[in-house]
Amino acid sequence: MRILELDGTAWQEHSDCIRELRQGVWTAVVLRGLYSTSEMETITERLDQIDAANAPPQNWTSMRFPESFRGWFLGENLNLLEDSLFDYFEREPMFSRNMQQLFASIPGGTERIFERFSKLDQGRRYLAAPGPDIDTRYQFTTLRGHAEGGYIPIHCDNEQAWRPSYEHLLSQIQENLFSFVLMIGKPDGGGNLRIYNHRIPVGQRSTIDQARYEKTDQAFMKDYVEIDLRAGDLVLADSGSHPHEVTKVIGTKTRWTMCSFMAEAKGKHAVYCWG
């Protein structure tokens, strides 16, 4: 596996690295210090206030991971939606306003992320995936909290496309997904992204199921890279094709992240994002 790590002095030298990530040249691209530690401390304080005592937050639509994962979302994860998406699109403007308020006083806000991606992807635009109607769009990300002992088990993001909630989105995008994770609030320990050294071609469902559920190949399970992000670091990963997981959070500090799934538009003129 090849991991490309970039700090602010090296970004201009790799204006094609995200295309290379999609092609399998890189397993992951790590952007160190995209936000400063103090900026992320500000966001973490705001998130901890929103999520005080893990009560239902005002003005935010929240969702929960399965109970054993000890995690929750601010915003709506498309993977967990089972009913009509009509109300989901109705709630998108409120979600976007909440994100703007959360990143208020942070220069560039969340647009800093997508402007940087564009510069690393030959100028392609990064934007929320368009919805079924001309004035609708998908929620462009989610915020994720994980408490002590929280984790995400091994999976590949391409398996999301098998869910009914992706029916419309699949008509807009190329079939291989990738993603990013921004570390906002780093826990006391653990909570690292672990990527396994195996690239599964698009559509091989049985192979993904084997990686996710059986875990019988010990050589496979021992061959991985673990990415330790500091607050303000961001990782782009070929998460559609590579099995990956989040290791258990250690300690009482909440692990706060921002995560989006992404794919090239059908015409490859842009990259569409959703949470």
Q: Which domains does the chain have, with CATH numbers?
A: 3-274 (2.60.120.620)
Rounded distance, CA 219 to CA 221, Å? 6
What's the predicted TM-score (pTM) here? 0.93
214 band by pLDDT with thresholds 50, 70 and 90 = low
User: Which residue shows structure tokens 């999520």?
Assistant: 51
CB atoms within 10 A of CB 82: 7
- Going by their DSSP bridges, the two strands 71-74 and 28-31 should be labelled as unpaired
Listed residue (8, 4, 32) closest to 183, CA to CA: 32
Helices (H), the chain: 17-23, 37-50, 86-102, 111-119, 205-209, 218-221
Which of the pair, 209 or 44, is modelled with greater confidence? 44
Q: What does pLDDT average to over the chain?
A: 90
Rounded distance, CA 54 to CA 56, Å? 7
Comparing 31-45, 48-62, 139-153, 256-270, which segment has the lowest mean pLDDT? 48-62
The mean per-residue pLDDT over the stretch 219-236 comes to 91
Rounded distance, CA 86 to CA 100, Å? 23
Report the pLDDT value the prediction gives residue 217, as an integer from 0 to 100: 67
Rounded distance, CA 35 to CA 232, Å? 4
Longest CA span, the chain: 49
Asked if the model's pLDDT at residue 78 lies above 70, the reply is: yes
223 band by pLDDT with thresholds 50, 70 and 90 = confident
Listed residue (136, 237, 229, 236) closest to 187, CA to CA: 229
Residues listed for the chain: 275
pLDDT tens string 89-144: 999 999 999 999 999 999 999 999 999 999 999 999 999 999 999 899 999 999 99
Report the pLDDT value the prediction gives residue 159, as an integer from 0 to 100: 81
Rounded distance, CA 6 to CA 266, Å? 29
Report the pLDDT value the prediction gives residue 201, as an integer from 0 to 100: 76
Q: Is 167 helix (H, G, I), strand (E, B) or coil?
A: coil
Report the pLDDT value the prediction gives residue 53, as an integer from 0 to 100: 44
pLDDT tens string 182-191: 999 999 999 9
Assigned token pair, 52? 């005080």
